[in-house]
Amino acid sequence: MNEPIRPRILVIDDEAGSRESMAMALDKSGLRVQTFDDADKALRFLRDHDETRLAICDLKMPGTDGLEFLAAVREQNLDLAVILVTGYGSIESAVEAMRVGADDYLTKPVDLYELRQRVANLLENKQLREEVTTLRQMLDKKWGFESIIGSSPVMEKLFDQMRLVAPTRSSVLVVGESGTGKELVAHALHHASPRRDERFLALNCGAIPADILESELFGHERGSFTGAVNRKIGKFQLAHGGTLFLDEISELYPELQVKLLRVLEERQVMRVGGSELIDVDFRLLAATNRDMAKAVAEGRFREDLYYRLKVVSLEVPPLRERVGDLAILIEHFLEVLCQEHGANPKQVSPEAMELLARHPWPGNVRELKNVLESVVVFHRSDLIEPSDLPRELRDGAPGPVSGGPVQNLSGAPRTMAEIERRAILETLELTKGRRADAAKTLGIGLRTLQRKLKEYREQGIVEE
Q: What is the tens place of the pLDDT at every residue in 60-117?
A: 888 898 889 998 888 887 888 999 988 765 566 667 777 778 888 888 888 999 999 9
Strands 347-348 and 312-315: unpaired
Evaluate whether 163 touches 185 at the Cβ level (below 8 Å).
no
Is residue 364 pLDDT above 80, yes or no? yes
Compare 384 and 100 and report the one with higher pLDDT: 384
Give the side-chain half-sphere CA count within 13 A for 128.
Answer: 6
Nearest to 248 by CA among 176, 160, 317, 297: 176
Assess whether pLDDT exceeds 90 at residue 443. Answer: no
Residue with the bigger pLDDT between 131 and 17: it is 17
DSSP secondary structure, 158-205, as one string: HHHHHHHHTTS---EEEE--TTS-HHHHHHHHHHTSTTTTS-EEEEET
Q: Residue 317's closest CA among 148, 155, 188, 452?
A: 155
Domains and CATH numbers, the chain: 8-137 (3.40.50.2300), 144-317 (3.40.50.300), 320-458 (1.10.8.60)
Summarize pLDDT for 208-235 with one digit per residue, the tens: 887 789 889 998 888 777 777 788 889 9
